[in-house]
Structure 1
Amino acid sequence: MASQTAAPPMSRRRFTIRVPATSANIGPGFDVMGVSLTLYLTLSVSLPTAPPPRIFTTPDPQPKITHTGEGEDEVPLNAYKNLTTRVALYVLRCHGIPSFPSGIELHCHNQIPFGRGLGSSGAAVIAGVLLGNALGELGLPKDRMLDFALMVERHPDNVTAALMGGFVGSYLRELDAVATSAASVPLAEVLPEYPADAGEEWGVDPPNPPLGIGHYVRFGWAKEIRAVAIVPAFEVSTAKARSVLPTEYSRKDVVFNLQRLAVLTTALSRSPPDPELIYEAMKDRVHQPYRKELIPGLPQVLSSVTPSTHPGLLGICLSGAGPTILALAVDNFDAIAQAAADVFAKFGIQVSHFVLDVDTRGSWVEEGV
């Protein structure tokens, strides 16, 4: 009997995407400021080396997805319901690639707690943009990738910090009528679910983002400053946290925040940091006072954990929509976290904490690993 020669193993391309956690607002900078932190969403990707398809085919078979770490029991493993892969497919479809390449295997390992104010959804969106760019070999610059992210996540603070790294301020540009219409497309049209919501529209190209939706600037950050993320054991959805905010503010409260925002962006860059200056500059009257009903113990933590009671502390605030508390400090990190934990314990709430640095690199893709 003639011997049979086994087929050679299929060559595969491998790459890794890494996206940092973020904390937004940083006191008075509501919907303006964000900082990237050293917790990560890591996406390991493997696919055959054949080029991606350029003509429409049925989206099945799906990419194979596995997930470990935070959210492993919550994240959809269906590529047409998973946020990261839906964003990736949106980027591909905007460039004439209507389906995933066949044979993709994706493994996500996530360190970022879900629904806690550390940018978990923003990280998933940025991972999706980078995945689409890498799968399609599109070569998009980061500024253009930000446009795609802002078509999905309409608040720029988290996604800008996650993509660019460091301590950033950002805003959405005022657009002309045509661009405004393009940027206001409902999310269901940007990210249709397959097959339930796609229907006959599946083969239609989705709306491309206008150029330059978001603009940003990177601020300085003193090398001594570390971030203590104090994470209560419950979730607060961003939508719910926004629902409690007023639609109008007094001039006094707006001026209060503007004054502190102007000081804080410089104060955090100065070495050595000034605790008295930073602590006062991290106070807020736009969102924190209205979210106290969603986060039992919040006012007590913000008022009782101070530089005078806890040396080494610089300032303390709600991280994003919460419930995580962000403390900036130069020393005694664990003691500061324990003080906040003791306050939360009086309300029957357990917490964990991370001592983190600022990630200055932002998101990246590395081939071959």
Structure 2
Amino acid sequence: MIKVTVPATSANLGIGYDTLGMAVSLYAHFTFDHADALAITGCPEEFQNEDNMVYQAFVQALDAWGLEPFPISIHIETDIPVARGLGSSSTCVVAGIMGAAALARRTVTRDELVALAAQMEGHPDNVAPALLGAAVCSFTPTGELPRCLRYEVSDRLRFVTIIPPYEVHTSEARKVVPQEVPLSTTVWQMGRIAGLTRGLETGNTDLIAAANDDRLQEPYRRALIPDYEAIRATCLEGGAKTLWISGSGSTLMAVTDDTIVAKFLQVRLREQFPDCETHILTCDNAGAQIEYL
């Protein structure tokens, strides 16, 4: 029996549309074992079958390695909400691949895991930080495997995470983003990606705030989150330096380097937005972990 623990992820980090992602200290746990027949527990009954995303990733990984699937049991325990912009689907893909490798007694590197997971997900911006930990900038050269640049995030930073009680589907969020932008917008984004990653590494919240001024996707996706403006105002008035949409939303993530500010802000958010779930998170610099039980 093996247990795979995978961190939640925040993609885009405001300025890094489809390129940046960061692992955070909210986790999903998956237990795998050999069995006489497929058995999946810990998730809604409608997902306790062969269509389960974890099992699908398990089967696809075995197929990629030229192996036949075999019956297993999977138990899922997760604190990561579904379809809220925190990489819940990526945790399932990552866990399924790692579970397949472990039960098939196959040794794989993290780079191989990222490549396979990115192929299944269609892009590496969530799966890469889920596997590697920290903040990751990913790109895929034509005809090659994904390249992932990993940035250790300062342990001084606190990410106040606000999760509204409604979903924003990625497919809908992508529809509102323009497919063509002026050259000036492209130039605007490029320098700020470098500024944001350096700010995360050094814990410089002033630099993070200055860099986090996106013109590609957040101006259009805000309208999909009814509470966006009110939550943003509360966070900035409450001492946060900046705020971004996590993934395609609906989760919002505010940044501070002061634990006391983070705690006071969490209290204020819970009072003003009682239907929202809030967490004070740090960056997970370790990435997905596996242990034998």
Normalized against structure 1, the TM-score is what? 0.74
1:99 alignment partner, SS class: coil
Gap change, CA 1:341 and 1:247, over 3 Å in 2: farther
2:136 alignment partner, SS class: strand
Gap change, CA 1:161 and 1:301, over 3 Å in 2: same
1:305 alignment partner, SS class: helix
Task: Give deviations 1:37-77, integer Å, cap 9, x for gaps.
Answer: 111111112226xxxxxxxxxxxx6421101xxxx337611
Q: Once the 2 structures are TM-superposed, how far is the Cα of residue 341 of structure 1 from its aligned partner?
A: 5.8
Q: Aligned partners of 2:22, 2:219: CA distance in 1, in Å?
A: 22
The letter for the 1-side match of 2:189 is N
Residue in structure 2 matched with residue 86 of structure 1 by the alignment:
56
Residue in structure 2 matched with residue 33 of structure 1 by the alignment:
20
The answer to whether 1:358 aligns with 2:283 is yes
CA contact (8 A) 1:220 1:266 kept: no
Q: Aligned partners of 2:11, 2:44: CA distance in 1, in Å?
A: 26
The letter for the 2-side match of 1:336 is L
Q: Aligned partners of 2:210, 2:128: CA distance in 1, in Å?
A: 26
Q: Which of 90, 98, 101 lines up with 1:130 in the alignment? A: 98
The answer to whether 1:295 aligns with 2:225 is yes
Aligned Cα RMSD in Å? 2.0
Q: Aligned partners of 1:363, 1:17: CA distance in 2, in Å?
A: 7
Q: Aligned partners of 1:73, 1:361: CA distance in 2, in Å?
A: 29
Task: Work out the percentage of aligned pairs sharing the same amino acid.
Answer: 31
Q: Aligned partners of 2:257, 2:133: CA distance in 1, in Å?
A: 21
Question: Which aligned pairs between 1:16-31 and structure 2 lie closer than 5 A?
Answer: 16-31=3-18
2:241 alignment partner, SS class: strand
Larger Rg: 1
Gap change, CA 1:254 and 1:337, over 3 Å in 2: farther
Q: Which of 197, 203, 210 lines up with 1:280 in the alignment? A: 210
Q: Aligned partners of 2:188, 2:182: CA distance in 1, in Å?
A: 10
The answer to whether 1:315 aligns with 2:242 is yes
| Contiguous gaps of at least 5 residues in structure 2 | none
Task: Give deviations 1:202-252, integer Å, cap 9, x for gaps.
Answer: xxxxxxxxxx52110111322210211110000111111111111111222
Gap change, CA 1:166 and 1:86, over 3 Å in 2: same
The letter for the 2-side match of 1:86 is Q
Q: Once the 2 structures are TM-superposed, how far is the Cα of residue 296 of structure 1 from its aligned partner?
A: 1.0
Residue in structure 2 matched with residue 119 of structure 1 by the alignment:
87
Question: Which aligned pairs between 1:204-215 and structure 2 lie closer than 5 A?
Answer: 213-215=145-147
Q: Which of 249, 258, 265 lines up with 1:336 in the alignment? A: 265
Q: Once the 2 structures are TM-superposed, how far is the Cα of residue 300 of structure 1 from its aligned partner?
A: 4.3
Task: Give deviations 1:265-296, integer Å, cap 9, x for gaps.
Answer: 112222xx443322121121111111122111
Q: Aligned partners of 2:124, 2:238: CA distance in 1, in Å?
A: 33
Residue in structure 2 matched with residue 180 of structure 1 by the alignment:
none
CA contact (8 A) 1:150 1:213 kept: no
1:292 alignment partner, SS class: helix
Q: Aligned partners of 1:218, 1:114: CA distance in 2, in Å?
A: 26
| Contiguous gaps of at least 5 residues in structure 1 | 1-13, 49-60, 176-211
1:157 alignment partner, SS class: coil
Q: Once the 2 structures are TM-superposed, how far is the Cα of residue 357 of structure 1 from its aligned partner?
A: 1.5
Q: Once the 2 structures are TM-superposed, how far is the Cα of residue 334 of structure 1 from its aligned partner?
A: 3.2
The answer to whether 1:76 aligns with 2:47 is yes
CA contact (8 A) 1:274 1:314 kept: no
Question: Which aligned pairs between 1:29-178 and structure 2 lie closer than 5 A?
Answer: 29-47=16-34, 62-67=37-42, 72-73=43-44, 76-78=47-49, 80-100=50-70, 102=71, 104-175=72-143
Q: Aligned partners of 1:274, 1:117: CA distance in 2, in Å?
A: 25
Gap change, CA 1:17 and 1:90, over 3 Å in 2: same
Gap change, CA 1:75 and 1:146, over 3 Å in 2: farther
Q: Once the 2 structures are TM-superposed, how far is the Cα of residue 135 of structure 1 from its aligned partner?
A: 1.8
Q: Once the 2 structures are TM-superposed, how far is the Cα of residue 310 of structure 1 from its aligned partner?
A: 2.9
Q: Aligned partners of 2:257, 2:206: CA distance in 1, in Å?
A: 13
| More helix, by proportion | 2
The letter for the 1-side match of 2:117 is A
2:150 alignment partner, SS class: strand
The letter for the 1-side match of 2:17 is F
Task: Give deviations 1:144-178, integer Å, cap 9, x for gaps.
Answer: 11111112111211000001111111111211xxx
Q: How many residues in Structure 1 have an aligned counterpart in Structure 2?
A: 291
Gap change, CA 1:279 and 1:91, over 3 Å in 2: same
